[in-house]
Chain A
């Protein structure tokens, strides 16, 4: 049954629906104005530390600004033109994309496997293991970078373990070898953030109704068939959201990579953020405008991904029947 109410027509006939809506909004604002007061600190912080730097970086990208000068000189799009022919920039851009392409599927896939294992009723000490896998998430990225520098260097336990196992003949410095440094960074990044993606998956798995599992079992599906034909299709909307969240996360790896490899050796692990940092702070003459232009181009990539994320989320909600 549906109850509908309708407002009586105006006695004078002078106030139409617009006037009523305006009054209603005003009335509504009187009741909820305090919400905006509580939001104000966040809005101010967001404005000062997100919106302002974002807008400023767009302006700086149009300046020739040596770091030791108080201000820059407007040069239009020259910085962007220079970036297009800067192989160091494209090297870093490519490394960031490679990082993303390898790290995100690895993190999403491994976390799903972990979540499935920990979600099983037959897994002992699942609570303990969940905590264990989540611990790196709450550890500072820079600290993890420093610790893994020691663990992965030529005299570290991992290198010696590889020799002991006969996988390598001599100790290998995995973070200081141009062939392995980026992949070492990817591996450490996946390990560090695996726990949070695992939590996402565990939450997603709770949404799969138990009766669906039971129905599949009654129909004779084994564990693998049940996963591929029942569980996984139900998880697809979550897969989209989790992948997009992890993708954005994979574009913010400065603290870890700077402490782990500093982009080296020979720029083999220089992701775009390290390029920006090096150009803005560590160059002989720091180039703030040029670094900002690189950041803007990089930001465009992030925006494209964010738009894709928005579309993905909308699609996933529609698939889940969650409305708009």
Chain B
């Protein structure tokens, strides 16, 4: 039934008709609004938000350095904002793996921060620069003339002559320092001031702690394959293996060395620790941070991790530092000491290509490159600062200072293929992961599901050589000027740093 009603003008208006029009308009408006919302959510909504943030002068800064939070805020961002009206810096701190995922998602949804670190991202900076992630900062500040100027490498920090980032932390470090609970060592009558000379000495110390204190000798976070990868590599290098963490190759030949005897020995050493019953029984369920927490709680005497452990403990478990902590140097397989190879300090913070505030970012990074700021970095006891000599002047825990001394003796700067030929990034990007990798092999063996150590490592080695050969061929066919010779550094001497002059003399 359709009724009609007289309007004010006296014209009869069919009520149903008028109602239908309003309904259509309403539905249309709701539909258009909804569609807009969906499209915004799917494509460009985040970009709008980001642009708004940039317009009001906010600089977004993402990193993973939890121990540096207070220092960044108090010594860098706050003073800068006070001195520069209209600039707001918003920092977000995330765990490394979370940051890597957040950056990948932000990249695809156009919500990248202005400045971020590369924690957890496995891609080389050269690859990211080539993919257009970053913009150069060299034109906005004089990094070449800064205290870190002589630590800038082509292919690592400088691309096509432009500076993109600076190495705020030293490359002279490894992730396998044996950190010890001095209280437990005292109970076990083990001298915390005397580093074990050999793996057997470390094994004996762990056994003594277990036997005399009832606490497990050491904890090894077996759940985290990346941790295991770096741990086994460091142990193998201490037994004489060449290479570095990213490229486990012999720089004299360019071939992978996973199947060399030092790697076999390193895995057998870890197996022997388990056989001794000195490894915390819950190790297989722990990641690196879990292991630190359990070690800090006094559940194990020794934990092998990086120099940043004290900085983290000071934030989360300061009582573990107050109770007593010390650092041993990483022992070798035999009494002969072999250097641990690591590449030069990498660029830490990078400025997004679309950032509207590269000048602000560059000024902040230049401040961070100063000796004064490096001194403050040392005081936070995270990764060793690039100007590592400032540690001697900084207010740091004696164990941190001692570890820096050990690292100075034990670590040598190795060659990096990207610094020799930046085009090698294309090979790294083309290479597909080989599984099981070194960490996964170690995990399998140490949890009782692995097979023959030598056989597994040989399979990995052959697969890595074959995959790199395939990748070189693939990118060469696309025009890249790269070959196996880019992994060969005949003038490499394991006992000395491979510096800028060495690259030039190659």
Contact = CB atoms under 8 A, between A and B. Distances in A.
Interface of A: 30, 33, 36-37, 40-41, 44, 47-48, 52, 66-70, 88, 149-150, 152-156, 159, 171, 173, 175-179, 262, 264-268, 281-287
Closest 3 CB pairs between A and B? A176-B284, A154-B281, A178-B449
Given A154-B281, A171-B281, A281 B447 contact: no
Interface string B98-115: 001100100110000000
B48 interface: no
Contacts, number: 124
A151 B284 CA distance: 13
Given A66-B429, A265-B443, A177 B449 contact: yes
14 contacts: A37-B27, A67-B104, A67-B123, A152-B285, A154-B282, A173-B281, A173-B282, A177-B447, A179-B449, A265-B284, A284-B123, A285-B122, A285-B123, A285-B433
B285 A153 contact: yes
Contacts of B23: 30, 33
Q: Which of B30, B133, B282, B443 has the most CB of A within 10 A?
A: B282
A176 B446 CA distance: 10
B251 to A, nearest CB: 21
Contacts of B42: 48, 52
Q: Which of A88, A149, A150 has the most CB of B within 10 A?
A: A149
Nearest to A36: B27
B273 to A, nearest CB: 15
Contacts of B285: 149-150, 152-154, 173, 175-176
B131 to A, nearest CB: 5
Nearest to B216: A155
Contact of B443 (A66, A150, A155, A264): A264
A62 to B, nearest CB: 17
A30 B429 CA distance: 59
A91 B305 CA distance: 32
Interface of B: 16, 19-20, 23, 26-27, 30-31, 34, 37-38, 41-42, 97, 100-101, 104, 107-108, 121-123, 127-128, 131-133, 222-223, 225, 280-285, 428-429, 431-433, 435-436, 440, 443-444, 447-450
Contacts of B447: 173, 176-178, 264-266
Contacts of A285: 122-123, 428-429, 431-433
A47 B41 CA distance: 11
Nearest to A265: B447
Contacts of B444: 178, 265-266
Contacts of A159: 281
Contact of A40 (B30, B104, B132, B435): B30
Nearest to A173: B284
B155 to A, nearest CB: 17
B227 to A, nearest CB: 12
A47 B38 contact: yes
Main SS of the interface on chain A?
loop
A266 B443 contact: yes
A284 B431 contact: yes
A44 B281 contact: no
A281 B101 contact: yes
Given A173-B281, A179-B449, A266 B16 contact: no
Contact of A268 (B30, B428, B435, B449): B449
Q: Which of B128, B440, B447 has the most CB of A within 10 A?
A: B447
Nearest to B299: A155
Given A41-B34, A155-B281, 18 more contacts: A40-B31, A40-B34, A67-B104, A67-B123, A68-B104, A68-B128, A70-B132, A150-B285, A154-B283, A173-B284, A175-B285, A176-B285, A262-B223, A266-B449, A267-B435, A281-B101, A283-B122, A284-B431
A150 B297 CA distance: 15
Contacts of B282: 150, 153-156, 173
B223 A68 contact: no
Contact of B131 (A41, A69, A267, A287): A69
Contacts of A264: 223, 225, 440, 443, 447
Contact of B284 (A37, A40, A67, A154): A154
B349 to A, nearest CB: 17
Contacts of B223: 176, 262, 264
A90 to B, nearest CB: 13
Given A178-B449, A268-B449, A48 B41 contact: yes
B30 A37 contact: yes
A44 B133 CA distance: 33
Contacts of B133: 68
